Amino acid sequence: MDHDSTPVRIPITGELDLHTFRPAEVADLLEDYLRECQQRGLAEVRIIHGKGTGALRETVRARLRRSPRVLSFRQGDETSGGWGATLVRLRPTAH
């Protein structure tokens, strides 16, 4: 049985922890998650990518720069994960 094709259900809470995902999965997952958050009216999302080497952080931020859903983003502060997290402001959806 091919487990890679099985969709993973992720709760839409405004916080996405990428630790359990492979780097190759991150780009599509991130865009799908941002779309769902935006559709639910969430204005801010916290993406947890960890500190590590910074490769995943840069992958996330490169994707955020290209996303039409993103208004702005910044590094987390001391209460929201520091440089192990990125805080994203989403554009409001047009109704």
Question: 58-82: per-residue pLDDT in tens?
Answer: 999 999 999 999 999 999 887 777 8
pTM for the whole structure: 0.82
Task: Sketch the domain layout of the chain as residue ranges.
Answer: 12-90
Domain 12-90, CATH class in plain words:
alpha beta
Q: What does the pLDDT read at residue 18? A: 93
Measured distance CA(66)–CA(7) in Å, rounded: 24
50 beta partners: none
* pLDDT tens readout for residues 12-62: 888 999 988 887 888 889 999 999 999 999 999 999 998 888 888 999 999
Q: Which pairs with CB-CB distance under 8 Å and at least 24 residues apart come from 77-83?
A: 80/46, 81/46, 81/48, 82/51, 83/51, 83/57
